[in-house]
Amino acid sequence: MNTPHYIAGQWVDGQGADVLSVFDPARAEVFAELRAASRVQVDQAVAAARSALPAWKNTAPGTRAGYLRGFAGALAARRQALVELQMRNNGKPRAEAEVDIDDAVATFTYYADLADDLAARQYRPVALAAPGFSARTRLEAIGVVGLIVPWNFPLVTSAWKIAPALAAGCTVVLKPSEVTPLIELAYGQIAEELGLPAGVLNIVGGKAEVGAALSAHPGVDKLSFTGSNAVGSRVMHSAAEQCRPVTLELGGKSAIIVFDDCDIDQAIEWIIAGIAWNAGQMCSATSRLLIQEGIADALLPRLAQALSTLRLGNPFDDDIDMGPLSSEAQWRKAGDYFAVAEREGLRCLTGGQRLDRQGWFVAPTLYTDVPTDSRLWTEEIFAPVLCARRFTREDEAIELANDSRFGLVATVASADLQRAERCAAALEVGHVWINSIQAVFVETSWGGTKGSGIGRELGPWGLSAYQSVKHVTRCLG
């Protein structure tokens, strides 16, 4: 922690003005401090990535795949320590932290397999209508990429970016969140152990100044950002000034539609998973509950009871269901929304308050009959706050679900699978679950429509995001 930045294959002290305080949110106590990188160090990291790029992008895809498998194996070997760091710094219950680490391992393994296939996909012929010419397709690394990742799923979101970038032959400058600056350092340690060529992976930590310096750096060929819409807008502006590509995975205000033919117990399980996982700190949280009239009176009281009995506590305690919010800023933001709900006169069935105890805990919350112009219905809260409305007809549910500036995900719960599939086709989002918790697989895409971002991560689409396409056309005459 005294040398928290990894640049050109070396661990270095931070030279920036900011000191990053790393908190245990269950105790609201600092357990580590480290100094941020400076703008000069961002320059050094980009220069190292630029220097390493020619050799790395020309490295055999199978060799790159070997490094990726090395990352997967080394993450798996560190599983227990990384799980406990997620629990301590994020406040995640153990089971959730374990899912995170396993997701990161699976991501590196998956992109290792795709990297193995790259050589076979090079120089594929293109069928031309015109005689006398041949054409072939070549896929190339897009170059030096700047990766900016959030605090709610550290290590996971970075794996979603680092693995396909390295598989494609790109070199990387990673900026972790200042809230969770420690866990991504494992990637630098693993790179060192594996003998990854110096400069292929660089890690520079800090606050907004470091992110802004990386976003605006003329030596970066692509930016990939996951986080808030406010910061994403600034990242996109920096990309526009350099006329370079950008992937943005931003906010959401997603809907879960529950039809009256559902089993109530199953519906409650899916609803709670969509709002209470990671204490609601998910861009994909299904925080708008659309519930059909025929089931509403039976489901809502039972849902309120289930939310009120969730066990909150320190992740290291036994038998907890939900931990604290990850930062004091999120805790205060949740309190601001509870105050808005009170001013708006919203009907609260359970929760609606921050808890008066050590740590940044809030009560799982359910508001019902929430107007569509309420701030709680339209704005991303990033806390376990669920807003419910009733509907009568299928088309009404679709209209309500799509009436949002976001379009990340949605869930449909219905025993009528034909109806569920119709809804999935009509919803203006990037991912739909039918009768399921939010199971995310590396083979499927991740990303949204409207204000939820640009581009896709995971699956083959995640690899394509770090590749440029070159065609070679030859006259045969």
**Which positions are catalytic?**
249, 283
Give me the sheet containing 385-391, strands edge to edge: 347-350, 365-368, 385-391, 288-292, 255-258, 409-413, 431-434
Determine phi and psi for 222, rounding to 5 degrees.
-155, 145
Report how far residue 213's alpha carbon sits from residue 448's, in angstroms, rounded to the nearest whole number: 26
Q: Quick one: residue 138, left, alpha or beta (phi over 0 = left, psi -120 to 50 = alpha)?
A: beta
Determine phi and psi for 174, rounding to 5 degrees.
-105, 130
Find out whether 152 and 90 touch, Cβ atoms under 8 Å.
yes
Report how far residue 79's alpha carbon sits from residue 73's, in angstroms, rounded to the nearest whole number: 10
Q: Is the dihedral of CA 88, 92, 94, 96 positive or negative?
A: negative
Q: Of 130, 142, 28, 145, which Cα lies nearest the Cα of 89?
A: 28
Report how far residue 177's alpha carbon sits from residue 204's, in angstroms, rounded to the nearest whole number: 10
Residue that has been written with the tokens 């105790």 in this structure: 27
Cα-based distances in Å from 119 to 127, 299, 458: 20, 54, 20
Please give the angle made by the CA atoms of 465, 445 and 438, to the nearest 5 degrees: 145
Determine phi and psi for 308, rounding to 5 degrees.
-70, -20
Cα-based distances in Å from 347 to 337, 343, 382: 14, 11, 20
Q: Fill in the amino acid letter for 440.
A: V
Q: Tell me, rounded to whole angstroms, the distance of Cα 470 from its chain centroid.
A: 30
**Torsion from C-alpha of 227, 411, 104, 18, nearest 10 degrees:** 20
